[in-house]
Structure formats: structure tokens, C-alpha cells
Chain A
Amino acid sequence: MAVPAIPLDALRAGDPAALSALFEAYADRIYRLALGVLREPSAAEDIVQETFLSAITHLNRFEGRSSLGTWLYRVAYNASLDRLRRRTDEPLPPDEPEANPETGEAVPLPRSIVDWAATPERWLTDREVAVELDRAIGELPESLRVVFLLRDIEGLSTEETAEALGLTPGAAKVRLHRARLALRERLSVYFSERMPREGGTP
């Protein structure tokens, strides 16, 4: 994560410029993670607030063993899961069966083999595609969705992702792999239906 250094001492002392720098550097990242877990903008805003308040209160617990960003992600992720539990008022759905990170686990083999990789550039800004992407990621189990979000959307390393989510690096890798294949499968169905409709290939 390439982010500007935040002066922690100034932050402890309540310096407004340091608070502003912290907010600028991390608010959007925290928001996206919380939104990824909770799928509700107002709840994600609450998590941003909670995370910064909690982080500033417990700044002395931050020992610099991980990066500040990873630590904030962890605070935000735990707060998001807490809220998810309270909201559903039932236990969280069971996690995906834990994979063995040493051997890897058999992932479902791809079913849809349509080559839609050369999607037109304009689809990046296409409303229908945006809705489809959001729906596809929303249908992933939360445990896979957050790993994909941190690794492939935010660009964290495997180690940073694992630390932020309290996973082993092996488990983070397996979940990322499953998430990518599941999303690919889901999007293949969508694009293979849409491309002929618009006269593209195939």
C-alpha cells in the first residue's frame, strides 16, 4: 500500500492537519472494505467513523509491527463483521469449507469457455456492466469477497490481506483463487449472452 506517512505523535496530540491526512489517506479504503462486507452505504459510513475513533483512541496499541493501513483495515473489518452479526441477529453463514493451503483444494472446473476477454473499452463505463459486476461480487460469500476486494481491487499483497483479515497467507491465496474463478464464471455467462446481442465476437 503506497500511502503518505502519517505523523502519529501529532495525531495523538489532536493536530487537525494530522487527522485530515489520516482521513485523506484511508477513509475511502475503509469505506470500500466496509461496503464490501455490509453492502450498504450508510452502514459503511458508520464504520469509517467507528474505525477512526477507535484507532485514535487506541493509537497506543498500534505497535508498528504491521503498517498503519493494515491495522486500520483490521479494525474496520472487525467492526464490519460485528455489525453484520448484529444486523442479521443470527450466526454468520458458515464460512466456505477451509481449504488446505498446502495442497490447495480442488476448485470447481470452469464451465463457461467463451472468449469475452476483448470486451470493448466503453463497457468500463457502461451502467449495465457496472450493475452486473456489483451483483456478481455481491453474490460471493463474504469470506471470499473481502479477499478479492483487498487483493485485486485495492492491490494489497497476500501477506497484507491475510494480516488485515486475520487469515493465514495460504488461506488468503486459496480464497482469492476461488473468488476469481467464481466471478469469472458468473461474468462469462453474462458476457456470452450480451456479446452476440451487440454483434461482437463471438
Chain B
Amino acid sequence: MTTVDPDFDAAREERRARLFTRINKADNWFRVLGLAWITPILKAAAGDNPRAQMKDVWRLLGVPLLAIALFLALWGALAPQVQTSLGAIPGPVQVWEQVENLHAEHERQMDRRDDFLARQDARNAERIANGDEPRYRDYTGAPTFYQQIWTSIKTVFFGFLLATVVAVPLGIMAGLSATANSALNPIIQIFKPVSPLAWLPIVSIVVSAVYTNDDGLFAKSFLVSAITVTLCSLWPTLINTALGVASIDRDLVNVSKVLKMNTWTKITKLVLPSALPLIFTGLRLSLGVGWMVLIAAEMLAQNPGLGKFVWDEFQNGSSQSLAKIMVAVFTIGIIGFLLDRLMFAIQSLFTFTNNR
């Protein structure tokens, strides 16, 4: 297209150019959110070389969908061939049935809660009529699957935040001072490989002894799970922060000396911004580790989240148990993936790379 073209319309071309710029900018965000396949579709719709865009769409969307379909087909074919004492291993259809079942159980529980609240309102109306104070109590039914998912997410974030608060300052210290690094290093190396299952009894006993207020903000099982998550997930953040801080460009450190910056300014204006990419890498790793550890910690500490759900289903030993456990496995995986994407998105907001 040149300006000699009789069909050339300057305004339309300008609009198109602006559209493509917007699509390219949006592409950055789509990539971050894992939706990179939307861009070629938009570009094709806007008329930019549709055939090349279709190739991109195939690579970004078509191939993954095909792989997933192949996995489901393979699973559906192989699963019924393995017989266990709880029945055949469930295939995709049975697992989907349990998803519907869990939703139905959630609905049933919500109905019973509404009945309870209605009865409570009726009782309170009577009490008010008799001149007594109305009494309000929470519904005491078992938590449903969705409530358990939410409890797990709350617990992992609490543990993760605690881990960040502990690990980042320690990491900065270890990065800035070689002495601190030598001091912390043996402790880090020894405690890093310890499994959450080994920490759990100790954490349990300590929390039981120290946190004796039964009506406090947190349940003991919540604290035990969250602290176990902290103990296992603070190491990636700590190590990466130390590494990030230690590998600041020498020139920048010299600048801080020339400008005679005090420690606080040095940390906030120099160290943190330079080390952020590695700190965020550490945070992402920590959240990933924390989510894995959480499931094990919940199973043993009986925190009412996904870990307890899996454990209870194992104990139930009903014919639906294996399928429900698989639903939990997929849920754990999908939530882990979403958490990772979330951290990646936050990381993109706060860091500068050569591509931006």
C-alpha cells in the first residue's frame, strides 16, 4: 500500500495503524495472563495477514487443546482397565460426575443452612415476643467444597505473607553483608531440605502450648498449617533475595557511596529496585512450594481445606472417593496454576526487563 494507490484512504489507514498498536500493547497483557492466543485472532479480524495469524492461532490454541483432548481420551481408555478394591480407577466421565455431585452437595448444605437460619429467626421472633434477647448463632454444618477451597487459599496466603516478611529482610541482610551471609548460610542449607511432614508435629505442639486463647482470631489448625507453609516456603525467597541483592551492578553501589546515601535510602532506592526481578522469582517459587506443602500440612493438621478434603475422602472409602480425590487433584493443580499466573502478572507490573 503506497500513497499512489487510488483506494488509499489516509484516515482509515491511520485508524488501522492505531488499532494494531493497541492490539500489540494488549498482547503484552494477554501473554502475562496466559491468553496469548487471542492476539492472532484479533489481528486476523483486523485484516493483518490472516493466513499467518491462523498459523499462530493453531500453535497457541489449537495444539494445546488437541493435547488436552488426547490426554482425556487416553485416560478414559486406560483408567477402567485398572481394578482396585474401591472399584475401577475413575475416568474423565466419573470425575465430571463428582464435580456435579460436589456442587449438588454444596447446594444441599446451603439449603440446610437457610432452613437453620429460618428456624433461628422463628425462635428469635418468639423470644422477642416474650421480652427476651434474640440469640444469633452461626450455622454449624460441615464446610462444603467451595468453602474448603477458600480456606486453603486463605491459609496459603497467610503462610506465604509470613514467609515473605521473614525472608525478604533476612535476604537483603545476607546480600548486603558477606558476614551475615556466612552466618545465615549453614542454617539455610540445613533447614531448606526439611519436609513439611517433619515440621508438623513440632509446630503443632508449639502452637498448642503458646496459642491457648480458644476464641482468638485464628483456629489452631489454621495456624499450624500456615506456619508449616511458612517454614517450608521461605527458603526460595530468602536465597533469591540474597542472590539478587548480592548481584547488584558494582557501578550502582559506587553511586550510592558517592552520593553518601544512608542505609534506608540505599535499600529502598537502589537495592530493592535492582533486586526485584530475582526477589519476584523467589516469591513465585515460594508460592508454588507453599501451595504444595499446604495440602500435606492440611491433611495432618486437619485444617478444613483441600488437604482435609482429600484425607477425609480417603478415610471414607466409598465408591465415589477416588473420583472425588481426582477432582481435588485437578482443583489443586488449576489453583496452583492460577496462583502462579497471579504472581507472574504482579511481577510484570513491578519489574523492568529488556523487553519493556
- Do A and B come together as binding partners? no
Please give the residue numbers on chain B whose beta carbons come within 8 Å of chain A beta carbons, in ascending order.
Answer: none
Q: Give A contacts to B, CB under 8 Å.
A: none
